[in-house]
Amino acid sequence: MSSSFSVIVNGKEEATTAASVMELLQIKKVDPHMVSVEYNGEILDRTVFPSTHLKSGDKIEFLYYMGGGTA
């Protein structure tokens, strides 16, 4: 059982056991194709979600695609 640590997701501090950005997305049931992820101020390429390891204090923003307007 891995121990939890705290990260800041969309401005809110929360405890997680996710080892990587990809795992965090999976735990939160967010399809990786539906978001862009900003990790400590930098937009990540989708290909590095699994290899980006999380540590205490990391700041993660999920930026969602939004349409809107016409139709």
Partner 1 sequence: MMVKLMRFSETQIQRYSRHILLPEVGGKGQAALLKARVLVIGAGGLGSPVALYLAAAGIGTIGLIDGDVVDLSNLHRQILHHTPDVDRPKVASAQAKLTALNPDVTVVPHHERLTADNALSLFEQYDIVIDGTDNFPTKFLANDAAIFTKRPLIHGGILRFVGQVMTILPGQSACYRCIFKEPPPAGLVPTCQEAGVLGALAGVIGTIQATEAIKLILGLPQPLTGRLLTYDALASSFRQITVRRNPKCPICGEQPTITTLTVAEQQVCELPTAALLSNGGAA
Q: Which residues of 12-42 are buried (b: 16+ CB within 10 A; e: fewer)?
A: eeeebebeebbbbbeeeeeeeeebebebeee
CB-wise, 15 or 34, nearer to partner 1? 34
Taking residues 13 to 52 in sequence order and writing x for each that binds partner 1 by CB under 8 A, - otherwise, the string is: -------------x--xxx-xxxx-x--xxx-xx------
Q: Residue numbers of the site for partner 1 (CB under 8 A)?
A: 10-11, 26, 29-31, 33-36, 38, 41-43, 45-46, 61, 63-71
